[in-house]
Amino acid sequence: MKSLFPPDFLWGTATASYQIEGAVHEDGRGLSIWDTFSHTPGKIANGDTGDVACDHYHRFETDIHIMKEIGLNAYRASITWSRILPDGKGQLNRKGIDFYNRLTDTLLDAGIQPMYTLFHWDLPEGLQKLGGWANRDLTEYFRDYCAIIFQHLGDRVHYWITLNEPSVHTYLGHLYGTHAPGLTDWKTATQTAHHLLVAHGLAVQAFREGGFPGSIGITLNINHFEAAGDTAEHRQAAQRMDGLWNRWYLDPLFKQSYPADIWELYENHRFTPSMKAGDLALISQPLDFLGINYYYREIIHADPTIPVLQASASSPPPPITAMGWEIFPDGLYHVLTRIKREYTSIPIYITENGAAFPDVLQNGTVQDTPRIDYLKKHFQAAAEALAAGVDLRGYFIWSLLDNFEWACGYEKRFGIIYIDYATQQRYWKQSAYWLKDFLAVLR
Ligand code: GCO
């Protein structure tokens, strides 16, 4: 199957800083909203925090060695803003830069291309104190932070992602309150979404102005929604979900407008975001690539008990993962071909795809046959999208290591490498061995 992918295809795994790094009080790192949130009783399963996580901050060389052994040629990680600027703005922390310099050089020495996400949800706490993303000033602080990163790493890093999943950060963090900063307010949420997109635009602008050699894009989480039945109510409910989660981000980025149906819905409730002239032009400047995170399909039915959206997801048909997410590889094909049909034909990277299963360590490994099956089927769907003309350039499995799965803490294991959190030992799951064999075919 590997032969279905071009030889220069990027094969990687993806991680995010707060989920793996640990070392939260080390080398001058400032606090982020995830430190505050995870230390708030009741927010995270089992009271887990990212204080130690996979201790990747101290063990990154081991982790890079594992990637090299597997035969991966790329790695998507994210940068902790508060390691670079402990308060989010102002004073620069050299030791933060040093860490990402070491990470970058070690990756390159191993023949692995770094792809860095500039914001994977861990906003410096100092900026949340100023009102968080609802405060427009943050868009400029983000640009300034990105400019510093480009200056220090832009000569060696060729793939940049401004934001990870602005939709998830917006809604789980500012509307449903299940992620940091734990807010539950529609107007704050829509304003946050808009400011995130403006911040993205400013970062792209800073990157272009600096004339750096690499490429820049954004990562969106695109779910595949289907109506529960062939009735107008269900179809419209599915369309609203798609509007809220997918089109609210895709449209401004690629069509220079917000989707009219959702805008109207928000207007009826008086929570459209405030905008400035020129915002949409800034947001929609050309990108070098689009990152897509795909996990599942949701079957949506009309539900009058849900305020504003009046839509709910039906409980998914089997097979499902440990997260309760439906395993639906065709959805990946649908999402990729839809982007090409409706939005853009710029290069696409699958920046996350993977699954949690109830893994058990036995004799130094995990027999994670369901994960191998999951990956095979999704690789197949990606190959079909390529054959259908999607300009797919790379695939990043979520995740390299078991890690801090946000509100689920350490309970859910997404890694192809098993972490024994008591000892920080890394163990290859069978999926890691399978991947090594898969990648070896053309080498
Ligand atoms: C995401 C998240 C990851 C999650 C993964 C599994 O970008 O959604 O980046 O951090 O861990 O999606 O839920």
| % of the chain at pLDDT higher than 90 | 98
Assess whether 352 carries a catalytic annotation.
yes
pLDDT tens digits, 415-432: 999 999 999 999 999 999
pLDDT tens digits, 264-277: 999 999 999 999 99
Residue (of 253, 137, 163, 160) closest to 207 by Cα position: 160
pLDDT bin (cut points 50, 70, 90) of residue 442 is low
Q: How confident is the model over 214-231, as a mean pLDDT?
A: 98
Question: Taking a C-beta distance cutoff of 8 angstroms, is the pair 352, 219 a contact?
Answer: yes
Residue (of 354, 304, 283) closest to 325 by Cα position: 354
* pLDDT at position 155: 97
On the 0-12 / 13-18 / 19+ scale of CB atoms within 10 A, 159 is buried
Amino acid at residue number 378: H
Amino acid at residue number 369: T
pLDDT bin (cut points 50, 70, 90) of residue 138 is very high
Q: Angle, to 10 degrees, between the axis of helix 186-210 and the axis of helix 137-153?
A: 30
pLDDT bin (cut points 50, 70, 90) of residue 24 is very high
165 lines ligand 1 (CB under 6 A): yes
Going along 259-357, which residue ranges are E strands? 289-293, 297-302, 311-313, 348-353
Full DSSP string of 254-275: HHSS--HHHHHHHHHTT-PPP-
16 lines ligand 1 (CB under 6 A): yes
CA atoms of 367 and 358, how far apart (whole Å): 10
pLDDT tens digits, 336-385: 999 999 999 999 999 999 999 999 999 999 999 999 999 999 999 999 99
CA 388 from centroid of its chain's CA atoms: 25
The active-site residue out of 226, 298, 326, 352 is 352
The residue length of the chain stands at: 443
Strand partners, 12: 74, 396
CA 125 from centroid of its chain's CA atoms: 20
At which residue do the structure tokens 């946050």 appear? 192
Q: How confident is the model over 113-141, as a mean pLDDT?
A: 98
CA atoms of 297 and 303, how far apart (whole Å): 18
Say whether 398 sits in a helix, a strand or coil. Answer: strand
164 lines ligand 1 (CB under 6 A): yes
pLDDT bin (cut points 50, 70, 90) of residue 1 is confident
Q: Assign residue 32 the CATH number of its domain.
A: 3.20.20.80
User: Which atom of ligand 1 is closest in space to residue 16's alpha carbon?
Assistant: 10
Amino acid at residue number 109: D
The residue to mutate among 357, 406, 410, 419, having the most atoms of ligand 1 within 8 angstroms of its beta carbon, is 406
Does the pLDDT of residue 294 top 90, yes or no? yes
Could you give the count of Cα atoms lying within 13 Å of 390 in the half-sphere of its Cβ? 31
For residue 405, the enclosing domain spans 2-442
Question: Taking a C-beta distance cutoff of 8 angstroms, is the pair 13, 394 a contact?
Answer: no
pLDDT bin (cut points 50, 70, 90) of residue 29 is very high
* pLDDT at position 406: 98
Question: Taking a C-beta distance cutoff of 8 angstroms, is the pair 70, 110 a contact?
Answer: no
Averaged confidence pLDDT in the chain: 98
Say whether 313 sits in a helix, a strand or coil. Answer: strand
CA atoms of 219 and 343, how far apart (whole Å): 15
Residue 126 sits at φ, ψ, to 5 deg, of -55, -30
CA 144 from centroid of its chain's CA atoms: 22
CA atoms of 78 and 251, how far apart (whole Å): 25
Q: For atom 6 of ligand 1, which residue has the closest CA?
A: 405
Q: For atom 13 of ligand 1, which residue has the closest CA?
A: 405
Question: Taking a C-beta distance cutoff of 8 angstroms, is the pair 61, 93 a contact?
Answer: no
The residue to mutate among 293, 378, 411, having the most atoms of ligand 1 within 8 angstroms of its beta carbon, is 293
Assess whether 125 carries a catalytic annotation.
no
CA atoms of 340 and 230, how far apart (whole Å): 25
* Tokens read off for 339: 């982007």
Q: How far away, in angstroms, is 32 Cα from ligand 1 center?
A: 17
pLDDT tens digits, 63-81: 999 999 999 999 999 999 9
Residue (of 130, 12, 31) closest to 73 by Cα position: 12
User: Which atom of ligand 1 is closest in space to residue 398's alpha carbon?
Assistant: 5
Residue (of 124, 158, 423, 161) closest to 287 by Cα position: 161
pLDDT bin (cut points 50, 70, 90) of residue 443 is low
CA atoms of 150 and 84, how far apart (whole Å): 12
**DSSP letter at 441?**
T
Residue 240 sits at φ, ψ, to 5 deg, of -65, -40
**DSSP letter at 412?**
S
User: How many domains does one find in the chain?
Assistant: 1
Characterize the bridge pairing of strands 417-420 and 297-302: unpaired
Q: For atom 11 of ligand 1, which residue has the closest CA?
A: 405
pLDDT bin (cut points 50, 70, 90) of residue 163 is very high
Characterize the bridge pairing of strands 74-78 and 348-353: unpaired
The active-site residue out of 165, 226, 326, 405 is 165
* pLDDT at position 3: 78
